[in-house]
Amino acid sequence: MTIDATASSTRRSLLAGAVAALPAAALTSGFFSGQASATEQPSGLPDYAPVPSASVGPALNADGYYVGRIQGNLYWVTDSYYQAMFLTTREGVVLVDAPPTIGHNLIRAVRQVARANGRPEKVTHLVYSHSHADHIGASVIFGKDVVRIGHRKTRELLRIQKDPNRPAPTVAFDHHYILEVGGERLELAYHGPNHSPDNIFIHVPRYATLMVVDVLYPGWVPFKHLAVSQDIPAWIEAHAIAMRYPWKTLVGGHLGRLGVRADGTRQQQYMADLEASTRAAMAELDPTPYFNKYGASGNSWAIFKTYLDAVAERAAEPVIAKYSGLLAAADVFTVDNAFTMLESLRIDAGILGPFSIRP
């Protein structure tokens, strides 16, 4: 594989700068220190509310990652933006996802853990949670010999996309797949489309851990537009599916810390409040002023934009007030999330408000 030296140098400089900006305490965190204490956020952050300390994960090391034990032979690694999970076994390492922002730090983390445990450090199996490049775009660094496993739809999508950084799975399944390697076991399940058409649930019963990506965001509100999910009703149902698994630890694929069951419950409540507030705003806000302002110009999109944006802002206001200080970035993405909820209620649920059947 050809590597652009300039790009690599820029990337290293960027990461070095990011690490250099961390508090000194963040660079002295001990290996395998478990859930390290959260880094306190400075007060008076520009533009947005401070991130609650409970939403922040463990400090990163000098290379820009944190690796820690979940339980037994199960570990996780994060760069505070993305997360991966891996199992060390007698026969090699099983890795779940390969986010490109973590990149070669995945190899460093696996090597660090495997050598400390006296186990093989070679990644023999790589499980794809779904096809999106931000979660598996570093798959290529593990070479051609690794056994790649994913849903059948993942294989179909990757064969169409032909991204050399994301080789298609060599093993694909439709509904359930049990992966047993070196005395360890992963249970993979497909419960239908949610965030993406192919997103799966990865359960490790022995260690009471569930990995499901881009559904639950421990300590934070969901990413913009409800995680840019392709099927909003199914994505919301995926919350309930996740909570039916008997997990104690959640690997959500994003941000800096692991999840506990209270995180799932809180996000479900956030979503219920967001839906209720959006329904209320749809019923309360009269679109007449927006038609009056832009109708004569014939600019239909201006009518819809200004009205729908106003509904989203009204819907978001009480939700932001309730969750500020409880969920990080409540003031950052809740308006966008309300807009997506509004569109799903209109298009998926048929709640059209003032745009219902004309009398």
Q: How far apart are CA 157 and CA 198, in angstroms?
A: 9
Token look-up 């409970």 returns 54
Give the pairing type, strands 92-96 and 123-127: parallel
Q: How far apart are CA 317 and CA 319, in angstroms?
A: 5
Q: Do residues 33 and 198 make contact, with C-beta atoms less than 8 angstroms apart?
A: no
Output the pLDDT for position 43.
Answer: 53
pTM check: above 0.85: yes
**Splitting the chain (359 residues) into consecutive groups of 10 residues, what average pLDDT does each group show?**
39 43 33 37 71 96 98 98 98 98 98 96 98 98 97 98 98 98 97 98 98 98 97 98 98 98 98 98 94 94 96 98 98 98 97 88
Angle ∠(254,18,333) on CA atoms, nearest 5: 40
Contacts of 168 (CB under 8 A, 6+ apart): 148, 150, 154, 155, 158, 159
